[in-house]
């Protein structure tokens, strides 16, 4: 509504200025009153309507492109003016500063410098920063940064439970190209990939239906996003454009995004951080379910999936064993706990949370 008001004011101002010019005595003497009034009112009115129509049809305006065009024009005119003065000085030596050839050279230099400057700025605006602030224009979102969901974290499914706890604030955003990739996986001829894709679509459906989650499917017409060679690079480019964060389980994507200055949220890192903490010398009870690599070792798991390697636990496969923790090891796959079967005469009180 405000924009249409601005357009109406623009049209009124254009017609009013044209009317003021049309009613000047010197203009009336040259063109006459009737023809003069018609020309100076109808022509600006038509031009103003065309400008408004163009503004209405061109809805997705790229601020960087427009500002690059503006500053390129200014730089080109300034350089062309300076070079034109040089041409005039050189031509004055040969007493030809007013010749048609000199004027043509000045016009051509001006046109060439304007074109080169505009072309240069438009092609390099994303490669480095100018002192001119047009490259610095970014969308300033109020509140928490948006979280862009990767295909891997959608298929994983844990994002639903994490989001419903409301520990993460902000809008969860699924770019259109991620949804397209997910649909392609769901239509795959490979059964495993097809099941993974369908699971991801089910997870998205749960996210959309949840009253606790703000989910949006986002489009992007940014040249930087469209020019990216694959989904991972598109996701990074869109996160930089929106000033958002990427949530993913993909190790390679995490590293590349961090190198590009994009904040990454990794579900696996969150899961590892929330696993129960055990200390060397602490007793616990764990069910031994299989044999370990060593001759006497047994292997069990805590409720959170942490692997427990028990020295002397092989004879107790299928039973619960009281063990004493000897050490822990944090790996890229998660945390591992090492322990040994505790002797009855050295038993200490158990921890409150049973493993």
We report the CATH number of the domain holding residue 256 as: 3.40.50.1010
Q: How far apart are CA 44 and CA 49, in angstroms?
A: 8
- Domain-embedded: residue 352: no
Same domain flag for 50 and 77: no
Q: How far apart are CA 109 and CA 116, in angstroms?
A: 10
Q: From 83, 110, 136, give the residue that closes a domain.
A: 136
Classify strands 245-248 and 147-149 as parallel, antiparallel or unpaired. parallel
Domain span at 315: 275-346
Report the pLDDT averaged over residues 291-305: 86
Report the pLDDT averaged over residues 207-215: 84
Same domain flag for 336 and 286: yes
Beta strands in 255-319, from DSSP E residues, in sequence order: 264-266, 283-291, 297-301, 307-311
pLDDT of residue 202: 92
Query: Counting beta carbons within 10 angstroms of the beta carbon of residue 219, is it exposed (0 to 12), middle (13 to 18) or buried (19 or more)?
Result: exposed
Q: Could you tell me the CATH number of the domain that includes residue 316?
A: 2.40.50.140
- Domain-embedded: residue 225: yes
Higher pLDDT, 21 or 323: 323
Structure tokens at 329: 């090891």
Same domain flag for 237 and 282: no
- Domain-embedded: residue 141: no
- Domain-embedded: residue 355: no
Domain count, the chain: 4
pLDDT of residue 299 exceeding 90, the answer is: yes
What band does 352 get if pLDDT is binned at 50, 70 and 90?
very low
Q: Give the full edge-to-edge strand order of the sheet including 215-218.
A: 215-218, 172-175, 147-149, 245-248, 264-266
Same domain flag for 108 and 159: no
pLDDT of residue 85 exceeding 50, the answer is: yes
Q: From 242, 272, 302, give the residue that closes a domain.
A: 272
The number of angstroms, rounded, from the C-alpha of 25 to the middle of its chain's C-alpha atoms is 59
Q: From 81, 112, 136, give the residue that closes a domain.
A: 136
Q: In 3-state terms, the chain is what percent helix, strand and coil (to 5)?
A: 55, 15, 30
Same domain flag for 260 and 152: yes
pTM: predicted TM-score of the whole model, two decimal places: 0.47
49 CB-near residues (< 8 Å, 6+ apart): 11
Instruction: Look at residue 297 and give its three-state secondary structure.
Output: strand
């Amino acid at each position: 509504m405000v924009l249409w008001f601005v357009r109406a004011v623009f049209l009124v101002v254009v017609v009013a200025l044209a009317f003021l010019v049309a009613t000047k005595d010197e203009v009336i003497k040259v063109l006459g009153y009737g023809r003069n009034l018609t020309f100076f009112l109808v022509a600006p009115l038509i031009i103003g309507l065309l400008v408004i129509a163009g503004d209405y049809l061109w809805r997705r305006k790229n601020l960087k492109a427009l500002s690059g065009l503006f500053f390129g024009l200014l730089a080109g005119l300034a350089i062309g003016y300076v070079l034109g003065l040089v041409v005039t000085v050189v031509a004055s030596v040969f007493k030809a500063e007013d010749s048609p050839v000199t004027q043509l050279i000045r016009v051509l230099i001006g046109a060439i410098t304007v074109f080169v400057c505009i072309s240069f700025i438009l092609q390099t605006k994303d490669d480095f920063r100018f002192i001119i602030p047009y490259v610095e224009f970014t969308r300033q979102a109020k509140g928490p940064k948006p979280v862009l969901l990767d295909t891997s974290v959608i298929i994983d499914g844990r994002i639903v439970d994490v989001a419903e706890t409301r520990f993460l604030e902000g809008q969860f955003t699924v770019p259109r190209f991620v949804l397209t990739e997910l649909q392609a996986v769901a239509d795959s001829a490979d059964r495993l990939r097809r099941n993974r894709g369908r699971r991801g679509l089910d997870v998205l459906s749960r996210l959309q239906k949840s009253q606790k989650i703000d989910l949006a499917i986002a489009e992007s017409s940014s040249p930087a996003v469209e020019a990216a060679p694959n989904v991972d690079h598109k996701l990074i480019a869109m996160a930089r454009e929106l000033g958002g964060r990427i949530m993913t389980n993909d190790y390679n994507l995490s590293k590349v995004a961090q190198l590009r200055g994009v904040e990454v949220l990794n579900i696996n890192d969150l899961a590892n951080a929330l696993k129960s903490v055990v200390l060397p010398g602490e007793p616990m009870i764990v069910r031994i379910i299989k044999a370990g690599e060593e001759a006497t070792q047994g292997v069990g798991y805590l409720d959170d999936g942490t692997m427990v390697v028990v020295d002397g636990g092989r004879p107790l496969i299928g039973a619960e064993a009281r063990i004493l923790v000897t050490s822990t090891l944090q790996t890229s796959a998660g945390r591992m706990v090492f322990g040994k079967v505790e002797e009855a005469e050295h038993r200490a009180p158990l921890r409150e949370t049973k493993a």
